[in-house]
Amino acid sequence: MFFFLIEVVVAKQFRDLKFGDRYYFENGDNSVTRFTMAQLNQIRKSTMAGIMCENLDLKLVARNAFRPISEFNPLVRCDLIRKVKLNRWRNEKLPQ
């Protein structure tokens, strides 16, 4: 019961931080400061494994970088990890 309460408190805290922060990248109605839907869709496709492959000199990474390597979370080649397509930003204005 104690651990369930901790999970509820932590989940509520993250929710409040996300929706209470007007600078959080998904919040806001201002089209000048908000990402476009195409940009948001690309951001949502990113994973920690993909970020690690893009920025570190890695050849292999666990598919879920937050979990230990196991038969359910094997090492995979970085060229098989989906990459964010930054061309969504090429002709669009960035948030101010």
Q: What is the pLDDT of residue 78?
A: 95
Q: What is the pLDDT of residue 92?
A: 61
pLDDT digits (tens, 9 = 90+) for 38-71: 788 888 888 999 999 999 999 999 999 999 999 9
Q: What is the pLDDT of residue 94?
A: 56
Q: Report H helices in 21-90.
A: 37-45, 48-55
Amino acid code (one letter) for 21:
D
Q: Which of 5-19, 28-42, 75-89 has the lowest mean pLDDT?
A: 28-42
Distance CA(90)–CA(63), nearest Å, equals 28
DSSP state of 64: S
Distance CA(65)–CA(47), nearest Å, equals 8
Q: What does the domain layout of the chain look like in residue ranges?
A: 1-30, 35-96
